[in-house]
Amino acid sequence: MRLRFLSPVVCFFLISLMAQAQIARAQTVKSFAGISAGQVGSPEFDVDPSGAVGTKQYMEYVNAYYQAFDKTTFKPVWSSPQPFPTPWRSNGDSNCYSITLDGMIVFDRLASRWVLGAHTTGSGNYYYCIAVSNTDDLTSPTLAWHTYDFNLNPILGTNSKGHPYFPDWPKLGTWADGYYVAIDLNDPDNNFQEVGVAVCALDRANMLGGNTARTQQCFLNPSRVTGALYLAHSFIPADVDGTTAPPTGRNEYFVSIENPPNDGKTTTSNAINLWAFHVDWNTPRNSTFTQTTLAEAPYTPGCYVAKMPSMTACVPEPSTSSTGVYIDSVGDRLESRFAYRNFGAYESFVVSHTVQVGTGGSQQTGVRWYELRGSATPSIFQNGTLSFDNTNYRFVPSIAEDKVGNAAVGYSTSSASSHPGIRSSWFNLVKPTRPAEFSIFSANADEENTGKWGSYTSMTVDPVDNCTFWYVNEYFPRNQTGSMISWSTRIANFKLSTCH
């Protein structure tokens, strides 16, 4: 055997890679079964698996049910998943009985309370419904929900036929001075094309105590909706991780994509958008909502086709060659969460989305992530793209950050030769490390009868140790064919050895 001597630089590089691999291997990924289609009364093709970890339980959402699980035993809290309107029905709030999709669950870490939010899907009269728990323990015999409904119709506006725009893809975030909501405006008379966004601040202070909430404060963008395709769509409000609040008076921030111009030929963008919401509850006319454009290296949104910008399905699975079905990458937007953490010395925001990483005509997708920092208006501090091979598509990501600056991103994976599964990657943001990928769950079946996929997933961090990541996503235990709906979800947790 011939010995070869390596330079000190190469040795250092190899040692670094070996150390990262050992750290990655040292992580124990625990996972358990979440909600499955067979457990709910009216399962949807579009799953939207999401949730949050609290002090005692993990709470999961799928369209349109919720269940909670003990963090230690993983046993479900309720005998079966609960219909999402349950808290409002229990309180007799009939405005919120018709919730069938797009729910959100967040854990208000600054108050140790659960928060549920969703829009109604009634016949043209829409409400945003929010419920705030009176305890952090979902097994408490005194558990109750403070429920609220906010009429959206005066906010949504109407199209040329006088029909209100449909509220879609609402996202909910916790900030010290309010609960913040972003809602897409879709035109029901134009194939539900997105034409704008509404953002609202809700009165967190009074809602936590079950008191009457002050009138919501809302803004539209664009301020005059014309019906044209809106490129900066699907805003995500920042959501606090950890128990250190933002500095007093700190604006809430929203982030959104800036899609390529709708000109039928351009496929790349070089910016994302940041929006500052300053709320003044005492003098509402002083509230403001302002935009900053953040320049970024050019990227192609996942599955983007210049002449069909709203078509985002290009992810293959083994059955695609025979079914012609491609999975929706939801590549036309940034993905929740827009996770915020106050480290004291600096403030950090992280977010991610699906982008094209393939070359030579390949539409292979990967995950681009961003970290924003800044005590005034945040700016992009660093970013990167996750793609570890030239075959697997990675899509619908969600990112969060632990108390020592480790970031973890969870996402779906699929390819022409591997069934849709669940993976995650981690890397350190303080002393940047090469991302390491690991498997959360490998599935053995395809979604053969529809391209619809959950349009978001959820990565959150345990508020007790501020180290343990919890992630939920979907998979298929058997091939979904014909009219069958057979999805399942998986909930996983893991902690990196560098976080104590």
Say which residues have a Cβ less than 8 Å from residue 260's Cβ, sequence separation at least 6: 231, 266, 267, 268, 269, 300, 301, 304, 306, 309
What's the pLDDT band for 122 if we cut at 50, 70, 90? confident
More confident residue, 203 or 123: 203
pTM value is 0.94
pLDDT digits (tens, 9 = 90+) for 150-193: 999 999 999 999 999 999 999 999 999 999 999 999 999 999 99
The better pLDDT of the pair 22, 252 is held by 252
Structure tokens at 21: 């691999």
Domains and CATH numbers, the chain: 31-494 (2.120.10)
Q: How far is CA 451 from CA 17, 394, 422, 479, 489, in A?
A: 38, 15, 17, 13, 17
Secondary structure letter of residue 389 according to DSSP: S
Cα–Cα distances in angstroms (integers) from residue 179 to residues 117, 257, 449, in the given order: 10, 22, 38
Q: Which runs of E-coded beta strand occur in 241-357?
A: 252-257, 269-278, 288-299, 313-315, 327-328, 334-342, 347-356
Q: CA 397 → CA 2, 147, 183, 334, distances in Å? A: 45, 30, 20, 9
Q: Give me the pLDDT at residue 27, please.
A: 65
| pLDDT, mean of residues 326-331 | 98
Residue written as token pair 């919120």: 96
Q: What is the pLDDT at residue 380? A: 98
24 neighbors 69 (Cβ within 8 angstroms): no
Band of residue 339 on the pLDDT scale cut at 50, 70, 90: very high
pLDDT at 28: 86
- The dihedrals phi and psi of 90, each to the nearest 5 degrees, come to -60, -30
Q: With a cut of 50, say whether residue 8 has pLDDT above it.
A: no
Q: Assign 3-state DSSP to the chain and report helix, strand, coil percentages, each to 5.
A: 10, 45, 50
- Can you give the pLDDT at residue 123? 76
354-413 tens-digit pLDDT: 999 999 999 999 999 999 999 999 999 999 999 999 999 999 999 999 999 999 999 999
Residue partners of 322: CB distance under 8 A and separation at least 6: none
